[in-house]
Each structure stands twice: as structure tokens, then as C-alpha cells.
Amino acid sequence: MRFYLTTPIYYVNSTPHIGHAYTTIAADILARHHRQRGDDTFFLTGVDEHADKVARVAAEQGLTPQEYADSIVGAWQELPLRLNATNDFFIRTSDDGHKRFVQEFLQRIYDNGREDIYQDVYAGWYCVGCEAFKSDDELVDGKCPDHGVEPEWLEERNWFFRLSAYQDALLRLYDERPDFVLPQFRGNEARSFIAGGLRDFSISRATQTWGVPIPWDPDQVAYVWADALVNYLSALAYAPNTGAAGEDLERFWPGTHLLAKDILRFHCVYWPALLLAAGYEPPRQLFVHGYLIIDQQKISKSLGNAIDPLDLIDVYGADAVRFWCARQVSFGQDGNVTLDSFQERYDRELANDLGNLLSRTTAMIARYRDGTLARSPGPGAIDAEALRAALVERLDRFDITAALEGIWQAVRRLNQYVEANAPWELAKDESKAGELDAVLYDLADGLVAVAVAVSPYLPETAPRILQGLGQPADLSLDRVRAQTAEAAVGIEAASPLFPRVEEPTPA
């Protein structure tokens, strides 16, 4: 199967916070899982540069928008690297390949013979935070409820996209493909927005210079969303080393988009319509996740509660951050988080449940069997086939939290298996040598299956578990099965997977 997965491209008007890391982590878990299933996978992330708010920050710093974007992009490129994300490409909307593609894309719509692009004057309230016009009923006390600021009055002659002409086509799409947008309640939200009637929107800006020039009217630049959404196609057309020009577009489109609810309309309504107008297939699927909220407040730089994901990685490591993001909040729902929960999960689940399990298992093999793991299966400690089936079924629904819970049940079962079979007692009795071998094998075997299953979540830890048990490094999903562990020699008591971390004192 082919699997093309994207994150939103993030605005570079400030540096990344944990909310951005959250989507990138979730996407990487899904991409790694699909690769271990053997799917032909392409994973894209990157940054959105041509926003008015980016130009404004640049001006405040006395830089051109491009100079400013060049100065901050490193922080954004570092994010996937430090999170251990396996994106195949990192797109910048200021890349020449992207800009060219946006022009071709808009030109295709302009030339589609249906007058889907026309000129008109638009006047309305514009929220720079959202980079979108707001109708009166979307404002609360005259302010944008998401950004808490008064929008600005904008009036100019622009190029418009005839979104209203796509209402029926979009409704048909939603009706024919009930899983087009997941979770279901988000799909319903998008569908009712469409059913409520669609207003055309302007796809150009006359007063801005920072952006992609409109090919047939270079005095105007493309509206940031008409530029940014196209990244999902353009990257496939020019990303280096992924195939001959255009081949990846053919190979990977239509793709799957991951995003949060803040940008649902752009992705679930505008984007499929733009694609249809330009003669491309609509996306394969969209998953809209919830918002991380810290201490009941939206994460924002101005509120001063924006956790820097790199600080957390410095203290706990990338695997722990990935684990916490997948586990702490049920994926798809909003979740209020606190940093205390981070330390608590690290100690109890990573260090104790998983880390100690490996330490104990390897220590017993070293001590009672001189480091040799015999291929001597007992009844089995976990049901690895059921674990694999649940993983596939849950991750196909993007439920990274439920899939991880399934793995953790197996971890807990392995710990119970140790307690229930007390290998230290068996070791005292020579006549129980066969029983001891079987218990040690079942434990090692369960741990191998767990390591492979959890590898999309804990990509640094999983190979350490396999190595500690003298097993091949192969992470393909079909190793999540009974009696997957091979006989091995030279096993030593493993050092802790998750060493004790002192809770950092808040700055």
C-alpha cells in the first residue's frame, strides 16, 4: 500500500512549542508504523512562510521577511530532528520549487474554463492571527475568540475563488466517503459548514508584497492559505532524491493530512475544492486532532505557558516526549496537560513498567543461564497476534493512544508473568530447569514483540531492547507474533532504559 502523510506546515512567526511537536510526533508514529507494515511511505512536514504575521515580525526586527524566515527556519528544522521524526522532506514555502508549483496550480484553476477565479472587491474584518476574514457572528465582543484581538478592516480588489460552485461536489464527497474526515464528529462539523452554504473567498492580496506573485497579475501575491495548502502537492513534485520529477506526485497523491481543529475549514472545505478546481484528486483522508491545553489555558507565547519541546527532550529524551504526547491525551480529543504528569508517567510507566522489565529479564538470563537464551517456548506470556491485530486496527483509525494502551497492557502482563512464575524460586530447584527456561524464553519473547510494536513510539528504546536480548534489529510488524525471539548468547544485565531524572525546577 502507499501512504503519504503530512503535518500542517507551521508559521515561522515564532519558535515551535509543544503543540507543534504534538502533531509532528503523532504523524511520525503513524509514518513509522506504516513503514513497518511494508507500506511505500512518504512523510512530509515543513514551514509556512508567506504569512502577513511573518512579514510583521520581520519588520519589527528590521529584517526583510526572507531574512527573518532564514534566521528562524533552523529552529523549525531542528524540531523534527530532535523529535527523531523520519520526515522524507522538509518543505519551506519560499523554496523555488514550491513557488513555481503554486503558480502552476493557480493558473490551472484560472484556465479551467469555469471562471472559478474572478475579480471583485472585498471588504471585511481580517484577523492576522488566523490569517482569515471573520464574519460578525464569528467575533466575540468585536474580537477574534481564538486570538483575543480586534480584527483589522481590509478592503481591496482581489482575485476570488468560486468556492460556492463546489458545494454540491463537496457534499457528494462527504456522503460517498464517510471516513473522509475523522473523527466522525469533525467530519460532521465540516459537512454542516458546507451544507450551510459556502462563500467565495479571495485568493490574492494587493497590499502585500511578501508571497508568491499571481501569475496573470504579478502586482498581487497569493493569499497565504492558497499558497500554503498547495505544499502538500508541490513537495512531491520537487523534493530531491525521491524519484524522477513528477513521479512522486503520481505515486503518492492522494495523501492523508493530520491537523488540529483550528484549521479544519481550510483543510476539509477549501482544500478539496481547490484540488477539484485544479483537476487533482481530493485528499485520501484527513484526521483532525484536538488541542493540548496547559493548566486550562491555550498554549501561547504571549501567555508565557509555551513549553519548549526541546527543553523537555534535553531532560527526558525524545522517546519520553513522544510517549507522553501519545499517551497523556486520547488522540482526537482536547486535553488539559500539566508537567507533573510528565514526570509521573516517566517514572511509573517508562522507568518501572518497561525499563525494569528489561533489566530484570536480562539480569535473570545472565545470572541463571550464563547469558544464554534457549529456544524453549512455554505457553507464552502475551497474545502477540492479538496485539498486532489491535495495533493495525487502531492505527488505521489514527487512534495512537488506544494502540499504545494495547501495547502497555502487554507490558503489564509481562510484569505479572514474572511475579506469577517467580523465576528466582524455579532457579533454586534443579528439577525445574526446563520450566525456568520456558519462563525466561516467554518473557524475552514477549519483550521482543513489545519492542517491535512500540518502536514507532519509542524509536530509540526499541532497538536497545532488541539488542539487550541479543535479537536482530529488524522492526517489521510481522515480528509481533508468538515465538519471534531467537536463541541468543552473551546476554548481560541491561543498563536502565530510562535512568532516574530529577524533576527540573520551573524557571
Determine if 262 is a binding residue for ligand MSP (CB under 6 A): yes
Q: Which of 22, 76, 89, 105 binds ligand MSP (CB under 6 A)?
A: 22
Is 20 labeled as catalytic in the residue annotation? yes
Determine if 292 is a binding residue for ligand MSP (CB under 6 A): yes
**Least separation, in Å, of the C-beta of 74 and ligand MSP?**
16
CA angle at 39 for the pair 271 and 289, rounded to the nearest 5°: 40
Is 50 labeled as catalytic in the residue annotation? no
Determine if 263 is a binding residue for ligand MSP (CB under 6 A): yes
Q: Which of 228, 313, 382, 469 binds ligand MSP (CB under 6 A)?
A: 228
Is 325 labeled as catalytic in the residue annotation? no
Asked if residue 398 lies in contact with residue 182, where contact means CB atoms within 8 angstroms, the answer is: yes
Asked if residue 289 lies in contact with residue 261, where contact means CB atoms within 8 angstroms, the answer is: yes
Q: Which residues contact 200 (CB under 8 A, 6 or more apart)?
A: 120, 160, 161, 162, 163, 164
The strand pairing partners of 222, in sequence order, are 204
Is 53 labeled as catalytic in the residue annotation? no
Determine if 23 is a binding residue for ligand MSP (CB under 6 A): yes
For ligand MSP, the closer CB: 41 or 231: 231
Q: Which amino acid is at 429?
A: D
Is 98 labeled as catalytic in the residue annotation? no
Of the candidates 477, 420, 425, 415, the one whose C-alpha atom is nearest the C-alpha of residue 446 is 415
Q: Which residues contact 4 (CB under 8 A, 6 or more apart)?
A: 41, 42, 43, 44, 236, 252, 253, 254, 255, 256, 284
Q: Would you tell me how many other CB atoms lie within 10 Å of the CB of residue 506?
A: 5
Q: Which of 29, 57, 229, 453 binds ligand MSP (CB under 6 A)?
A: 229
Asked if residue 296 lies in contact with residue 305, where contact means CB atoms within 8 angstroms, the answer is: no
Binding mask 45-84 for ligand MSP (x = CB under 6 A): ---x------------------------------------
Is 147 labeled as catalytic in the residue annotation? yes
Determine if 328 is a binding residue for ligand MSP (CB under 6 A): no
The interface with ligand MSP within residues 129-168 (CB under 6 A) comprises none
Give the active site residue among 33, 130, 268, 289: 130
Q: Which amino acid is at 45?
A: T
CA distance 38 to 242: 17
Determine if 439 is a binding residue for ligand MSP (CB under 6 A): no
Is 17 labeled as catalytic in the residue annotation? yes
Q: Which of 3, 4, 5, 9 binds ligand MSP (CB under 6 A)?
A: 9
Determine if 91 is a binding residue for ligand MSP (CB under 6 A): no
Q: Would you tell me how many other CB atoms lie within 10 Å of the CB of residue 159?
A: 23
CA distance 323 to 480: 20
CA angle at 349 for the pair 371 and 325, rounded to the nearest 5°: 125
Determine if 109 is a binding residue for ligand MSP (CB under 6 A): no
- Binders of ligand MSP: how many residues, by CB under 6 A? 19
The strand pairing partners of 3, in sequence order, are 41
**Least separation, in Å, of the C-beta of 396 and ligand MSP?**
20
For ligand MSP, the closer CB: 93 or 362: 93
Q: Which of 57, 181, 260, 365 binds ligand MSP (CB under 6 A)?
A: 260
Could you give the residue numbers annotated as active site? 17, 20, 127, 130, 144, 147, 298, 301
Positions that interact with ligand MSP (CB under 6 A) = 8-11, 19-20, 22-23, 48, 228-229, 231, 259-260, 262-263, 291-292, 299
